[in-house]
Structure formats: structure tokens, C-alpha cells
Chains A and B, each alone.
Chain A
């Protein structure tokens, strides 16, 4: 299950020309296969309701590599752009997943700065353009929500480690703390006192330096849309989705373990690590299986969401429940 970067497989021009052929033939074959396999009328790409955002809604940035993958390293198909951009958990707007896209459409993502500080030698405020100067790569990762659904997403972004290296963390820094924008005028969900806004998430230093930990700026070769956490968000694919904090404005290196919004809201149900594990149920529901968006049948959930080779060494004792909620 080693991650295969698109660049390691085939020279890009050959890959792309081959892909053009596969894309046409594959799409046809795949859709008829799905139809034959489950007879689900929902899989047919017929009428698409007008509420859905359409591909091309977000501008492609010249710094971005064009979309090249059509599956993850296990061969699972990418989730459609329509589903990724219209089915979002982003409580800052609304708890209704299908309602986020509309409420977020006027969200201002420019100008935008990310303040990186705390226990670092060179604290710095990054403009979004500074972040886009870091080389952007396509990274296809599975996203497993704690609510037992999942997607396969072709992100565009760069390793978090590259940003952290630039600010030179001090040796006392043990954790990284991330914070989402707090702006109830733009994010109506934040006017509810039910949660302690702003959204906060954290990683242990070695987790943050792991190559899978990504700062994403786009999907499908295009800039992120607000509903997906524009202009920059975290992606930690071996953890439940709520760890992948969106619309980040502040990153601090700290000595103490940060308390995330979900840890504060329900400490018995959501911990700091939240690594995916089918054997460890949420206190109220099973994590053994998941529904892949776009498919009808449930599939088995994998330990560390299938990224065991990359991250298992970070968690030496798998029997510790602390790692998995």
C-alpha cells in the first residue's frame, strides 16, 4: 500500500495521451459496469439538478498540475467533482451537508493570510500567493468521515513539512495547532454558541512532518471552492475527516497538546488522535464499514484508512484506544 506518486509511474506526456484513451473507454465501461452490478438507478449520470456546482466553477491556477489520476493507488475511482463540492461537512456554514455549497459561495478567500508562529525561530505571515509558490503536487487520497462515509479526492497541495521547515520549529515544539477563520458575518454557523468557535485542530510534531500530511489548495486541478475549505486546508488521510481542518488562518507550534473543537464539545467521543480503525467503534456507532459516495454497497474500512505502511510506526501500541477516537 505504498503511495505511488503519479510522477513515479509514467512520463507525463505518455501518461496523458494514454489517459485520454482510457478516459473515454473507461468511463463508458465503468458506468455500464456499475449499472450491471447493482442496477442502481442513482448511478446513472442523467439529469443533474441545477443546484450542483459544475466543473469549471473554480478557476485553474497556472501553478497547479492538471488532473492526471483517475483512481487512488488501490484502483478505487475518484469521487466526482460534483459530489465533492456539494456534500460537505463545514459547520461554520450549516450542519446540512448539501446546504454548505450555496451558503459558502460568496465567502471571501482573497486577500488571505496564514499566520505561522509560536515556538519557531522565524515566525512569518504567509500570503496565499506565498503558499502557491511552494511546488504544488497532485495527491489522490481517501477521505474517511467519522460518520462512516468516504470519498477519493484528487487534491492539489504540498506537504505541511515544507511550510514548517521555512519557519524553523524550536526543539520544545511538540504539537502543531491549526485554527480556522472566525468571522460570523461570513460564516453564519459560527453565531451559534453551541460550539466553541473558532474550529481548532492539532497534530503531534511527527504526524505533521509525515509526508502524507498535506496542505491542500485545490482539487481536480482547480482552486479549492469555499465549501471545501478554500483557500488552504489540512488533509490528513489516515485520520477521520474532522481532523482535516478547513480555511486555515493560523498555525502555531506549541508545547502542550491542543484541545480541538470536537474534543471540547464531546470529550468522550472525539479525542486528539482520531486515527481510522475499523475495530474501534465510535461510542455510538460502528466504524467497521463505510459507504463510498457514488457506490451503493458498503465497503470495509481499513486500518489507518489504508495508509498503514506510511503511518503505523507513529503509533507503536495498536491496542491503545487513545489513538483511535
Chain B
């Protein structure tokens, strides 16, 4: 029995890490809010927490494929679905904070807020993409969409770009969004077919050389 659990843990530890990493901070911030621990500007705290969370999860999801290309670490590919779904959940909470906690569902104020602030428009567009990807994420839908599924899910990169633009447009000091933007740019560069091929073959060569200089098996 214990052995079975250990075996299960060993095969699933990355997934468990993702679930814990996404859910524990959410539980933590809900508790802090309920306890009234944000004394200064709770709306802003929750807005930045959920927004930053969504962006980090989205970038982690986009990092899975390049990680496999670079290090041949196949297990991370299975994390794309949960990471993407958690990014969508965080983005939804971010949106709910905006319309509910911040603007109290006041339609007039919200209309003004959307039209005077282009960062809202791009943020909303990024959210819609995540919604479309979340809806089409079950395996059954994936099968039904066939080739189109892959094309559709490439929009995740567009969502990432829009999220960075959203971030850069809403702050006074753009140094932090620029850092996130640099990470996204790097991930995009790693997707360029030529870069991908070069890195992939470099990895194979390196592995060959390592195995010939340190022969592990006779």
C-alpha cells in the first residue's frame, strides 16, 4: 500500500506541485482577506495578486515546451493543461475583483473605465483567449477539433503578449512589466523553428559526448 502511494507520488509529483503552487497562495490570500489583514488597500492587493498569479502561470505554461526542447524533460508537457486552467482561474478572479470589489458592478463607472483605459481592453482580450482555451481544453474537445486545436491553442502566446501590454499600460513604472516581457520574449525566441532545431541537436550532441567520455554501461 505504502509502496503504491510512493509510486503514485513519484509519477505525479510535478502535477502535485502545480496544484499546490496554485491553490495554497489562493487559500492564503482568501484567509488574509477574511481576517482583515490587508489594512491599507485590499482591493489593490487582491487585484495585483490575482493578476500577477495569472501572468506567472501563463508564462510557466508557455515555458513547458521550450523546457522539453532544451532539456528533454518530457514530464513537463503534461503540466500545460493544469497550468493553463489555473491561469484562467486566476484571470477570472482578477476580472471579478475589477468589476465587483473595485467597481461594485456600477455599470456607468465600468463603461467609463473600459473606454478611457486601453489597458482594460487588452486585458479583457487576453482573458477571452484564456476562456476559449479553457473551454476547448478537455481531451474530448481536443479530439473533435483535430488539427485546429493546435492552431487555436497557439493563441496562448498572444494572450501572453496582451497580458504584458496590459501590465505595462497600467503602471507608472514599467521596469517590472519589462522583466516579464523579457521572459516571454525569450520563450518566443525558443519557439523559432531554427533556434529549436539548433538547440535540440546541440543537446543530442552533448548527450552523446557525455555518454562516450563517461561510459555508464559496458
A contact residues vs B (CB 8 Å cutoff) = 40-49, 52, 80, 82-83, 86-87, 91, 95, 98, 146-147, 149, 192, 194, 281, 284-286, 288-289, 291, 293-294, 296-298
Contact = CB atoms under 8 A, between A and B. Distances in A.
Contacts of A43: 36
Contact of B35 (A40, A46, A286, A297): A46
Given A149-B44, A298-B104, A41 B173 contact: no
B210 interface: no
A285 B175 contact: no
A42 B41 CA distance: 9
Interface stretch (B113-121, B142-150, B194-202): B113-121
B35 A47 contact: yes
Contact of A289 (B39, B109, B169): B109
Contacts of B180: none
A194 B175 contact: yes
B38 interface: yes
A298 B103 CA distance: 7
Given A41-B33, A284-B119, A296-B101, A146 B172 contact: yes
Contacts of A149: 41, 44
B34 A41 contact: yes
Given A95-B175, A289-B109, 10 more contacts: A40-B42, A44-B36, A45-B36, A47-B36, A47-B37, A80-B39, A82-B40, A86-B40, A291-B44, A298-B104
Contacts of B113: 286, 289
Given A284-B117, A297-B104, A83 B39 contact: yes
A82 B39 contact: yes
Interface string B75-107: 000000000000000000000000001111010
B109 A298 contact: yes
Given A95-B175, A281-B116, A49 B39 contact: yes
Which has the most chain A C-beta neighbours within 10 Å: B36, B104, B106, B117?
B36
